[in-house]
Structure 1
Amino acid sequence: MGLLQFNSPGISSIPITSSFNYNSKSLRPLHLPNQVSLERRKLFAISTNTTSGGSESADVASEEPPSIDFAFVNSKLLPDGTPDVQYRSACGGQKLRDIMLDNNIDLYGPYDGPLLNCSGGGTCGTCIVEVVEGKEILSLRTDKEKELLKKKPKTWRLACQTMVGNKDSRGQIIIQQLPEWKVHEWEK
């Protein structure tokens, strides 16, 4: 029987100015209006079970399954004037709506109620988000999106109609929540 230890390496305050995922080199940097400093904490499980040959199997913790890193930017600023950014990771092959709801990210804002939205049917348009970075990982616009968003910017999507990659996808996506209520503008 092996012993399972939880270590938390690298707990420090990392200034997030150029990118929220410092391991990825494939996407352009994240440009937030002000410097944001957040703490990142990861738990690594290290198994000290000795198997055949007497070697420790700590390599399991270093291999991570494919995942997509998200930065969800709230439509309102924090009291100090910086954007409220929440970082999450999820596997691909899911709808953006499901990822946001599973991770307790505010999707509907003032329309959050059983009779105020269509619960993912693509008919009400209350789950609009703006894709700031990472649109290449997302599916193309559906016919429902084209109809509902024809007078909106091309970067706006319906979260209930947007598929996020596939199970093997990796990358970064920056999502602006409730873009019609946002109080800051993105630098391009």
Structure 2
Amino acid sequence: MGSLQLNSYRLASQFNQNANNIHNYKPFKSSSTHLSFSRAKIRASSATVPDDTSNQSQANNNTAQPEEPPQVNFAFVHSVLLPDGTPDIHYRTACGGQKLRDIMLDSNIELYGPYSRVLLNCAGGGTCATCMVEVIQGRELLSPRTDKEKEKLNRKPKNWRLACQTTVGNPDSTGMVVIQQLPEWKGHEWKYEEVQVPAQEFSQ
């Protein structure tokens, strides 16, 4: 009996010691916390993977053709008819915001006629009135008459302009302008009818 009591005491003391150890136990982070962090990290990484659909749409946008810049179309009618009796018309395109004189000279369109030699014109000063043109269509795209034009063209039709004083629209302007060259030297009359000119007829 005594040995049984001793053993019971030892068991009780061991139980009490184990109980104290349980109270002093500090929990550690379980492996599940680390796993959940790893899974969250994987999900975050997978969210940054590019989508094939978005890449395809972006590629389509990059390959889209850019819009054509705004431009003004011109039809310049020479004062002399062609051998078959039809008007001699030259088609050009240019950006708005430029002087009509510069557009014509840069496009190799005859402007001065017999006054094209040096010292026979004022080279764009607006004092000689040798760069007169007649505006058949597109007056709304042109700048108003300047004081020099009002002085030099006071006895001319209202649609006559000095090319060196006339600005054609703005950089974002579009439209059609028909110009009669050398109206003072025009030896014929022709009837203008507005028609749709094919785009390939115009050149820069």
SS of equivalent to 1:100: helix
When normalised by structure 1's length, the TM-score is 0.68
Looking at secondary structure, tell me which structure has more strand per residue: 1
Task: Please list the CA deviations of residues 24-65 of structure 1 after superposition, one character each: whole Å capped at 9, or x if unmatched.
Answer: xxxxxxxxxxxxxxxxxxxxxxxxxxxx635472523xx211
State the match for 2:15 in structure 1. Answer: none
Task: Please list the CA deviations of residues 84-141 of structure 1 after superposition, one character each: whole Å capped at 9, or x if unmatched.
Answer: 0000000100000000011010010110011100000000000000000000100000
State the match for 1:121 in structure 2. Answer: 125
Looking at secondary structure, tell me which structure has more helix per residue: 2
1:76 matches 2:57: no
Trace 1:34-183 onto structure 2 (pairs within 5 A): 53=56, 54-55=59-60, 57-60=63-66, 63-183=67-187
Contact 2:87 2:190 in 1 (8 A): no
In structure 2, relative to structure 1, the CA distance for the partners of 1:187 and 1:82 (3 Å cut) is closer
Length, aligned pairs only: 135
Distance 2:150 2:73 in 1: 26
Distance 2:87 2:191 in 1: 13
Deviation at 1:183, TM superposition (A): 2.3
List gaps (5 residues or longer) in structure 1: 1-51
Deviation at 1:182, TM superposition (A): 1.1
**Letter of the 2:77 counterpart:** V
Structure 1: 4+ residue segments shifted above 4 A: none
Distance 1:173 1:101 in 2: 16
When normalised by structure 2's length, the TM-score is 0.63
**Letter of the 2:112 counterpart:** Y
RMSD of Structure 2 on Structure 1 (CA): 1.4
Q: Which has the larger radius of gyration?
A: 2
Distance 2:147 2:119 in 1: 24
**Letter of the 1:94 counterpart:** Q
Distance 2:148 2:78 in 1: 25
Distance 2:74 2:167 in 1: 14
